[in-house]
């Protein structure tokens, strides 16, 4: 047994991917509503307008969680459901707020601990139109702080908060690659770094607010959720490839974690980006440094990293490296999945856990997302989809690697959440890609059916969590 008796585990979702009810009860549009309306943006031309209809199925979702034995549930709030226009002077939609208050109460009544994320990429569309959304260093942090205040005050029973989910995705896919909302690419040399800085400042403001006004009374904790892939050198005998691995991780994880845990951006980023990387003011640095009660970790895959000889281009966001799935010998890092960016590599999980623990001096870690798609899953009949042996093996491998990192290396992991509770709107991939441990029958009322991976999860954690 590797995990302490108070270790928590469960499943993750996000508001836009499962809630649906896009125009119900006063919800305003988000940037993802607008993004989905642009032809060619979503693989199957779909949107999250209906998704899994979880807004109207909270009782079903709680019953599902309870049946699977989950002790916790991570979900996000829809900012535009709570404040439809988003701004600090704009009215609060009490119906939307009451929805989340009741949901939290019902989760707690069922013995399920809520983990709540404030921002999972769905900025109110009005703020994008009003001042450019996340690009505004002056307005965005203040509007986010007010939204956070409304949520903190209303959801006083929540003990586990996250400010932002995967800011790297918001910055790079939203403002460089253009495959996520708002889909900008024209100023990729500067905008991702500006957005990342503004997210850190907004995060810092929300954390200070929570600590100053709510934490002592509510007895909770707050952090941020960072994604990152494990890295292995393309040629393990090449010192440049070994250095490139660390540089790649700094450009993804260190970009956000270093300012929080160390107080400044990684030196490798400052060297490559120079003046394009914003500078913290003294006030901003004070807000950001130390602004996390835990390390929120999302992890899915690993890559082989090869250094580049040429100077980095202005649009490079990875640290001037090649990110590959095969190494110098032609070995694949793991099995192919439906997602082009994801191959299974369990040993990468323990490797990255150790990197985080060593670099940031053994923070308390919650793994808030981990999971996989399956090649061709959506084309199978439902009975075959429910036999998701590949996903089951993925989870067994990754969870046991996490357990080894705790047992053998002393990594302080306190909780684990599988992505995702159910198949859902998978952003630019639409509904063609399924990540759920529960099958969602979109053609027949969004009914949920547990897959094998869902039903084995309790047994796996019962085996690994200490009993006394």
Judge whether 128 counts as a catalytic residue. Answer: no
Judge whether 369 counts as a catalytic residue. Answer: yes
Phi, psi of 308 (to 5 degrees): -110, 145
- Both tokens of 364, joined, read 């308390």
CB–CB of 249/219 below 8 Å? no
How distant is the alpha carbon of residue 220 from its chain centre? 20
Q: What is the CA radius of gyration of the chain?
A: 21
CB–CB of 331/235 below 8 Å? no
Residue entry with tokens 């769905």: 122
Partners of residue 11 on adjacent β-strands: 73, 418
Region of residue 372 (phi > 0: left; psi between -120 and 50: alpha; otherwise: beta):
beta
If we measure between CA atoms, which residue out of 304, 144, 323, 308 comes closest to residue 224? Answer: 144
The one catalytic residue among 166, 191, 284, 377: 166
If we measure between CA atoms, which residue out of 280, 285, 247 comes closest to residue 266? Answer: 247
Q: b or e along 114-130 (b: 16 or more beta carbons within 10 Å of the residue's beta carbon)?
A: bbbbbbbbbbbbbbbeb
The one catalytic residue among 128, 191, 250, 369: 369
Q: Which positions are annotated as active-site residues?
A: 166, 369
């Amino acid at each position: 047994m590797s995990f302490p008796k108070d270790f928590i585990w469960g499943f993750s979702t996000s508001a836009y991917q499962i809630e649906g009810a896009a125009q119900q009860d006063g919800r305003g549009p988000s940037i993802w509503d607008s993004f989905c309306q642009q032809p060619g943006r979503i693989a199957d031309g779909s949107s999250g307008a209906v998704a899994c209809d979880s807004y109207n199925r909270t009782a079903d979702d709680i019953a599902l969680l309870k049946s699977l034995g989950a002790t916790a549930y991570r979900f996000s709030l829809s900012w535009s459901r709570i404040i439809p226009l988003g701004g600090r002077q704009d009215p609060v939609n009490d119906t939307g707020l009451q929805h989340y208050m009741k949901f939290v109460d019902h989760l707690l009544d069922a013995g399920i601990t809520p983990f709540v994320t404030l921002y999972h990429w769905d900025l109110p569309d009005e703020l994008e139109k009003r001042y450019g959304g996340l690009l505004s260093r002056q307005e965005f942090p203040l509007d986010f702080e007010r939204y956070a205040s409304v949520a903190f005050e209303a959801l006083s029973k929540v003990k586990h908060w996250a400010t932002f989910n995967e800011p790297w995705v918001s910055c790079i896919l939203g403002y460089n690659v253009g495959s996520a909302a708002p889909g900008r690419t024209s100023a990729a040399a500067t905008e991702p770094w500006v957005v990342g800085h503004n997210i850190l400042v907004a995060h810092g403001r929300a954390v200070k607010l929570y600590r100053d006004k709510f934490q002592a009374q509510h007895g909770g904790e707050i952090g941020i959720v960072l994604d990152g892939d494990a890295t292995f050198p393309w040629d393990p005998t090449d010192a440049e490839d070994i250095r490139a691995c660390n540089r790649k991780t700094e450009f993804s994880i260190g970009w956000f974690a270093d300012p929080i845990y160390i107080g400044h951006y990684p030196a490798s980023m400052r060297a490559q980006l120079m003046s394009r990387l914003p500078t913290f003011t003294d006030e901003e640095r004070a807000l950001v440094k130390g602004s996390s009660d835990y390390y929120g970790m999302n992890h899915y895959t690993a890559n082989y990293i090869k250094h580049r000889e040429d100077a980095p281009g202005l649009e490079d966001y990875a640290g001037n490296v090649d990110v590959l799935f095969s190494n110098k010998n032609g070995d694949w890092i793991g099995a192919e999945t439906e997602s082009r960016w994801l191959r299974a590599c369990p040993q990468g999980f323990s490797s990255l856990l150790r990197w985080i623990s060593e670099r940031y001096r053994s923070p308390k870690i919650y793994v808030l997302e981990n999971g996989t798609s399956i090649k061709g899953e959506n084309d199978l009949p439902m009975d075959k989809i429910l036999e998701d042996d590949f996903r089951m093996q993925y989870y067994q491998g990754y969870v046991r690697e996490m357990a080894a990192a705790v047992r053998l290396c002393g990594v302080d992991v306190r909780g684990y959440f599988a992505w995702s509770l159910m198949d859902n709107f998978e952003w630019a991939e639409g509904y063609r890609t399924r990540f759920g441990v529960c099958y969602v029958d979109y053609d027949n009322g969004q009914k949920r059916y547990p897959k094998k991976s869902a039903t084995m999860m309790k047994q796996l954690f019962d085996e690994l969590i200490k009993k006394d």
